[in-house]
Amino acid sequence: MTTDSPAPRAPYDPDNIFARILRGEIPAHRVYEDEATLAFMDVMPQGEGHTLVIPKAPARGLLDADPASLAALMASVQRVARAVKAAFAADGLTIFQYNEPAGGQTVFHLHVHIVPRRDGVPLKRHEGGMADPALLAQHAARIRAALEAGEG
Ligand code: 5GP
Task: Determine the pLDDT at residue 152.
Answer: 86
Task: Determine the pLDDT at residue 126.
Answer: 84
The vertex-53 CA angle with 50 and 58, nearest 5°, equals: 140
The H-or-E segment that residue 114 falls in is strand 112-117
The vertex-86 CA angle with 61 and 149, nearest 5°, equals: 100
pLDDT at 5 over 90: no
- Rg over alpha carbons for the chain, rounded to the nearest Å, is 16
User: For a substitution probing ligand 1, which of 48, 100, 106 has the most ligand atoms within 8 Å of its CB?
Assistant: 106
Q: How many CB atoms lie within 10 A of CB 140?
A: 21
With a CB cutoff of 8 Å and minimum separation 6, the contacts of 40 are 21, 28, 29, 30, 31, 51, 52, 140
Q: Active site includes 113?
A: no
Paired strand residues for 132: none
The 3-state DSSP class for residue 116 equals strand
115 lines ligand 1 (CB under 6 A): no
pTM for the structure as a whole: 0.95
Paired strand residues for 95: 114
Least confident interval from 58-72, 85-99, 117-131: 117-131
Task: Determine the pLDDT at residue 4.
Answer: 53
Q: How far is the CA of 43 from the centre of ligand 1 (A)?
A: 6
Least confident interval from 7-21, 31-45, 77-91, 107-121: 7-21
44 lines ligand 1 (CB under 6 A): yes
Q: Which of 63, 27, 65, 46 is nearest to 117 (CA)?
A: 46
Task: Determine the pLDDT at residue 2.
Answer: 44
Reduce the secondary structure of 73-93 to three states and give it as a string: HHHHHHHHHHHHHHHCCCCEE
Q: List pLDDT tens digits, range 103-152.
A: 999 999 999 999 999 999 999 988 778 999 999 999 999 999 999 999 98
Task: Determine the pLDDT at residue 6.
Answer: 52
Q: How far is the CA of 3 from the centre of ligand 1 (A)?
A: 34
User: For a substitution probing ligand 1, which of 30, 107, 112, 126 has the most ligand atoms within 8 Å of its CB?
Assistant: 107
Quick check: 90 and 82 in contact, CB under 8 A?
no
The domain segmentation of the chain, as residue ranges, is 29-119+131-148
The domain made up of 29-119+131-148 has a fold known as: HIT family, subunit A (3.30.428)
Q: List pLDDT tens digits, range 23-53.
A: 999 999 999 999 999 999 999 999 999 999 9
pLDDT at 81 over 70: yes
* pLDDT interval class at 1 (50, 70, 90): very low
Region 11-27: what's the mean pLDDT?
A: 97
